[in-house]
Structure 1
Amino acid sequence: MSVVSGCPCRKNMLFVYNEVMWLLSPAFFAYGIRRILDGTRFSAIYDWTGRFPKWDKGQGTNDIESGAKCGVRCFWVHAVSVGEVVAASSVVAALKRKFQDALVLVTTVTETGMKTAKQRIPNADAFAFLPFDIMPFPRWAMQRVRPDVLILTETELWGNLMHAAKEIGSKVALVNGRISDATFARSQTPLGKLAYQWLLSHLDLCLMRSELDAQRILQMGAPPQIVKVVGDVKLDQPQVRLSESVKASLRSELGLFSDHLLFIAGSTHEGEEEVILRVYQRLISYLPNLRLLIAPRHLERVERVMAKIESAGFKPVRRSFCTGKPIRQNEVIVLDTVGELAKLYALATVAFVGGSLIQRGGHNIMEPVLHGVPVLFGPHIDNFRPHAELLLREGIGFQVHNENELVDTAFKLLNSEPLRRTLAWKAEQLLSRHRGASDRVANAIAELVGQGKVDTGQGVK
């Protein structure tokens, strides 16, 4: 019996969900119009309405069709934005190793997510934006792709998309599943319990990143037999540490000398840059060779951040304008490029990850750690709580609650090269313990596809 059929309120909840989505439909369409006006390709309309275009490679001029019609497995991997794309990249690589001829479609929601996906997942066979979760768009998309497995990363539970997958017999898997404090709290309200029980009833497999996430999804109503802890695929990345020659070239581009210390504040939000600039002002009085790079979370805020830098008495320098001219102490580099932050963390002496001094739930605090760089973050880290607890327990990450704590902790790290070497060694030991999570995901997916048939529109396979 399908997992979906085990939810007694399934039909009622589907009706309610669709009523809500139709009420929200003007907002979806307004969002699409705004995206196109902001520069998103016009053909995204086909994606949003479930009329996916052709495979980008591997299938010549064929439209996106069922992998079964080509005699191979087909996987649809969804990653909402940049952070989830990082997780999806290693999963897709593992699936391609496990199923060498498989077709993989990757969908995202954001423009930056799409750009990052094309950079980080070059072995995918097609890319598209996720259809609006309003029937019949997900049904049209699912009937066109007909994947063996719909793979959703982290927290992306779209009711109509999952329902459409179950209609044609596709399996649905949650990969690198995480349940934030806010999501868990919502799921414990009377309405939240009904909604999440219905959403989770569509899942055939829940591959969670930690024991805490597994415990939470079980309390939310996931059947115990489908929940497994496989580790965090974001920690199972290929060797990302840059060679010394590449780092030297990047430092030269940015105008950094060999004796310069670099403080990178990544994924910052409104209300955080002001704090970072005050911290920098205080630190350079003790460390005159310190330089600062700020990477706002949203590129549309670059001009606003540059204005803040000028108001603080510094001169902003766009990353895209860096040509090797030496960066002075009174200049602050502003990252205005897409997909470069994860690489630039390799140049950092110390990193701060934003969205955490204010209530945004934090961002990927593991990116600096992948390069052996000590990372600081604020108290609002709900989206990455298991990561934060892990880093705090290992002594690799440092939580700060205010400007003074940020100054004190950053100075301690910036002023001690032996301490930084010790932390880099600890980071490598930590990462080595988590390697293999992506292969465990691929093995679990392989077991899953052996459990049933997918309706190809031309019989089953």
Structure 2
Amino acid sequence: MIYNIFCFLVWLFCVPFLMFFSVKKKYRLSIPSRFFLYKNSPLKQSDVHFHACSFGEINSLEILSKNFNSSFSVITQTGLEKALKFNNNSKFLPFELFLPFWLSKSKVLVIFEAELWLNLVKYAKKNGAFVILLNARISDKSYKKYLKFKFYYKQIFNNIDLVLAQSNIDEIRLKELGAKNIKVVGNIKSANLKQVSKIYPKFKEKLIIVASSHDGEEELILKSIKPKLNQKFLIAPRHPERFKRVSKICEDFAKRNSLKFEKFSSNLGLKSDIILLDTMNELINFYKICDVVILCGSFIDGIGGHNPIEIAQFNKPIISGKFFYNQKTLYDLVGGIKFTDLSNINDILSLNLERSYIKNSCNFDEIVNLIKEQI
């Protein structure tokens, strides 16, 4: 009761700010749905309710969820869009205040990684669900912050029946926060790999992908690169709302170097030297035919890196920055990554780089069976 009163006071205080941000395109659907229940009726009952944050996490759960009668709750708009493509029983997860009467019954609740909300697990347990925390991890950067709120996380873990951790280090940290019944199964992202949906012919030029880039990284990388005649660049921003801005950056880069530029969405045949991949769900198809991937999210401090395993499944050379602390476990699963601060990027791109490879992966069938045992 005290926690719900606290949530109500927080919600009341934040209402003016929520109203302000709800006019922004990025939050136009999520804020009204999550904080005001606008067009956000409860999920239909299912055997397994999966909850994850955004596009990448939902993407990791797609194949797993197809083994069950499932439903999805998400936090972001891109996450919901992705979930609805393969599961119509998908909604935004409302703010904690609304969960006591919004949450539908399920036999199992599977929470992905760090989506730890007290009312979500508490009322799922009250509804009779077996609660699983899947792919659990505590990053180096987050660990001290978690410890400051240990009292809160202890209450959460009191309502979690099974924790499937990524590594032994995660197991130790999770125990410190109050988690019980922990099983180290590895990272599901290393076993549940997204597959190619379309086959593109390989380019005669050397295809270099600048993958999952964030604000500031495109400019930093392109400023460091001196393109050669046999090179073709595919720029793939992480967030779709940045496509327009990155298009201008790429266009300016092309003009400075007397190169041709096009956007993927323009359907011009992919004949240009610089191509902006301004669409979702296509990057995996280009990983298969590329020659090198510059994996972003790692060149500017504050992001923490991205998943290298999707690339390593194709044994493509990977170039990365040093700021990958949020993906340390995944980086440890991949061999052959070349690290740089971009000062020597042109020399590196000229080398016959070592191919990346996945060192080991978790047992996907084991995870499926652990969930099935509770249905």
Task: Please give the range of the TM-score, normalised by the shorter of the 2 chains.
Answer: 0.7 to 0.9
The equivalent of 2:73 in structure 1 is 107
CA distance in 1, matches of 2:44, 2:81: 23
Displacement of 1:194 in angstroms is 1.9
Q: What is the percent sequence identity of the aligned residues?
A: 28
The equivalent of 2:54 in structure 1 is 81
Structure with larger Rg: 1
Matched, 1:383 2:326: yes
CA distance in 2, matches of 1:23, 1:41: 18
Distance 1:385 1:46, change over 3 A: closer
The equivalent of 1:212 in structure 2 is 169
Distance 1:269 1:210, change over 3 A: same
Displacement of 1:347 in angstroms is 2.2
Displacement of 1:342 in angstroms is 2.5
Q: Select the residue among 49, 55, 58 that pairs with 2:37.
A: 49
Distance 1:220 1:410, change over 3 A: farther
1:19-418 correspondence runs (5 A): 19-35=9-25, 40=29, 45=33, 49=37, 52=40, 64-67=43-46, 74-93=47-66, 95-96=67-68, 103-119=69-85, 122=86, 124=87, 126-133=89-96, 135=97, 137-142=98-103, 145-189=104-148, 192-223=149-180, 226-237=181-192, 240=195, 246-248=199-201, 251=202, 257=203, 259-281=204-226, 283-284=227-228, 288-312=229-253, 313-314=256-257, 315-324=260-269, 326-328=271-273, 332-358=274-300, 359-391=302-334, 394=335, 396-400=336-340, 402-412=341-351, 415=352
When normalised by structure 2's length, the TM-score is 0.87
CA distance in 1, matches of 2:144, 2:73: 28
CA distance in 2, matches of 1:291, 1:214: 43
Query: What letter corresponds to residue 345 of structure 2 in structure 1?
Result: L
Identify the structure with the greater strand proportion. Answer: 2
CA distance in 1, matches of 2:79, 2:22: 16
Where 1:434 maps in the other structure, the secondary structure is coil
Q: Which runs of 5+ in 1 are unaligned?
A: 1-10, 54-62, 68-73, 97-102, 252-256, 450-461
The equivalent of 1:456 in structure 2 is none
Q: CA RMSD in A?
A: 2.9
Conservation of the 8 A alpha-carbon contact between 2:43 and 2:90: no
Where 1:247 maps in the other structure, the secondary structure is coil
Conservation of the 8 A alpha-carbon contact between 2:45 and 2:106: yes
When normalised by structure 1's length, the TM-score is 0.72
Displacement of 1:41 in angstroms is 9.3
CA distance in 1, matches of 2:99, 2:38: 6
The equivalent of 1:458 in structure 2 is none
Query: What letter corresponds to residue 407 of structure 1 in structure 2?
Result: N
CA distance in 2, matches of 1:17, 1:198: 16
Q: Which runs of 5+ in 2 are unaligned?
A: none
Distance 1:231 1:184, change over 3 A: same
Matched residue pairs, number? 370
Which moved further from structure 2: 359-368 or 29-38?
A: 29-38
Displacement of 1:129 in angstroms is 1.6
CA displacement 1:415-461 (0-9 Å, x = unmatched) = 46xx44xx4xx44xx3xx42533x22222223345xxxxxxxxxxxx
Question: Larger relative contact order (C-alpha < 8 A, sep ≥ 6)?
Answer: 1
CA distance in 1, matches of 2:281, 2:196: 16
CA displacement 1:248-282 (0-9 Å, x = unmatched) = 1xx5xxxxx4x21111011111221122213432x
CA displacement 1:293-318 (0-9 Å, x = unmatched) = 11111222222222223443155421
